């Protein structure tokens, strides 16, 4: 028997795993893939975005509440999850405002990457998912998440780097999350308007910067059958997700009809593949193990 395929998703905060690639993970779990979510911070500086949860006792214990939410979401998705131990940097209102001392985004790159390198060497993923170099959106923790994910991908297989963090292991593919594209939201917007539903996306699309997409979509993973699991995991993050809010305006059935995939950019590959892809493990299925670099 071949060894199971393994997927690692690297995220900045609790709830990011449920809003970015959750249906993909749920699909692969159902197919027998081992999935580990690495959450780099505890989300301690996150705002309460659900008015129903905006209570003083929750705000005072937001770090612990978000850990409990993460555990529930993990159970729903069927994945393993671990925190990497860093402190949320927050999102300053003003770009000139300094970040809090000791926060994740201010860590030296090797200090920030070492726990993730150790996790890669222990879990031995074939594929890693993370954000692009703009962070998907310019939150300092998301940008730093890209940096440490790329560092871990490139360093984990090198026995001379990060000594004391386990035996070398070289992942084979690195992907950037591409779920929030103008193309996707325009398609959903047009479909909702065509059915006289009214679209919540018009203002967002009108403010979209008119520039070429920096990282083109290379890989579309069919996972519409798992959108309900994705939404359940999102709702588990009750402080962050309003059940009456933006995330749930477009009916799931319409999403399955118009855009039944979650989308990615293949940023690194050590195996042969042909683009476009419909599977993150294209080129890996015949591999029983992934050799470390020597």
**Within a domain: 247:** yes
Q: Are strands 261-269 and 219-222 parallel, antiparallel or unpaired?
A: antiparallel
3-class SS at 268?
A: strand
Distance of CA 40 to the CA centre of its chain: 11
**Within a domain: 254:** yes
Of 127, 135, 154, the residue nearest 214 (C-alpha): 135
> Per residue in 135-157, pLDDT tens?
888 899 999 999 999 999 999 99
Average pLDDT in the 191-204 region?
91
**Within a domain: 220:** yes
- 244 a known binding residue? no
- 13 a known binding residue? yes
**Within a domain: 200:** no
**Within a domain: 38:** yes
**Within a domain: 192:** no
- 142 a known binding residue? yes
Query: Cα separation of 119 and 283, whole Å?
Result: 23
15: left (phi over 0), alpha (psi -120 to 50) or beta: left
Q: Which residue range(s) make up the domain with 46?
A: 6-180+216-269
CB-count burial class (<10 Å; 0-12, 13-18, 19+) for 258 = middle
Q: Which residue intervals of 128-209 are DSSP H helices?
A: 140-155, 182-194, 202-206
> Per residue in 59-118, pLDDT tens?
899 999 999 999 999 999 999 999 999 999 998 877 778 999 999 999 999 999 999 999
Report the predicted TM-score, pTM, of the whole model to 2 decimal places: 0.94
CB distance 58 to 48 below 8 Å: yes
Query: Cα separation of 225 and 19, whole Å?
Result: 16
Domain count, the chain: 1
Of 91, 89, 112, the residue nearest 42 (C-alpha): 89
**CATH code for the domain in which residue 142 is found:** 3.40.50.10320
Which of 29-38, 177-186, 206-215, 272-281 has the least mean pLDDT?
A: 206-215
**Within a domain: 278:** no
Query: Cα separation of 211 and 15, whole Å?
Result: 29
- Asked if residue 208 has pLDDT above 50, the reply is yes
- Asked if residue 190 has pLDDT above 60, the reply is yes
Q: What is the 3-state secondary structure (H, E, C) of 81-102?
A: EEEEEECCCCCCCCCCCCCCCC
**Within a domain: 261:** yes
Residue 174 bridge partners (DSSP): 128, 268
């Amino acid at each position: 028997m071949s060894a199971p395929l393994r997927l690692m998703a690297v995220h900045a905060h609790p709830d990011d795993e449920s809003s970015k690639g959750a249906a993909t993970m749920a699909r692969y779990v159902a197919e027998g893939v081992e999935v580990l979510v690495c959450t780099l911070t505890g989300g301690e500086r996150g705002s309460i975005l659900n008015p129903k949860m905006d209570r003083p006792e929750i705000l005072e214990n937001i770090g612990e509440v978000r850990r409990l939410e993460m555990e529930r979401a993990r159970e729903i998705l069927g994945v393993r999850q671990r925190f990497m131990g860093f402190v949320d940097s927050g999102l300053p209102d003003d770009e000139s405002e300094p970040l809090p001392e000791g926060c994740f985004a201010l860590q030296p790159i090797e200090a920030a990457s070492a726990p993730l390198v150790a996790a890669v060497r222990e879990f031995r993923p074939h594929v890693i998912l993370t954000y692009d170099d703009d962070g998907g959106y310019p939150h300092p923790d998301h940008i730093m998440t890209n940096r440490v994910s790329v560092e871990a991908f490139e360093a984990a297989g090198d026995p001379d780097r990060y000594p004391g963090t386990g035996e070398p292991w070289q992942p084979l593919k690195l992907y950037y999350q591409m779920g929030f594209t103008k193309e996707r939201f325009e398609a959903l917007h047009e479909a909702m308007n065509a059915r006289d539903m009214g679209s919540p996306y018009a203002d967002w699309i009108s403010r979209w910067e008119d520039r070429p997409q920096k990282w083109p979509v290379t890989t579309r993973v069919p996972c519409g059958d798992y959108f309900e699991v994705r939404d359940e995991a999102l709702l588990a993050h009750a402080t962050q997700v309003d059940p009456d809010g933006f995330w749930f305006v477009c009916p799931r059935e319409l999403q399955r009809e118009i855009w039944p995939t979650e989308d990615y950019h293949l940023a690194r590959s050590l195996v042969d593949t042909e683009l476009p892809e419909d599977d993150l493990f294209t080129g890996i299925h015949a591999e029983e193990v992934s050799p470390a670099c020597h």
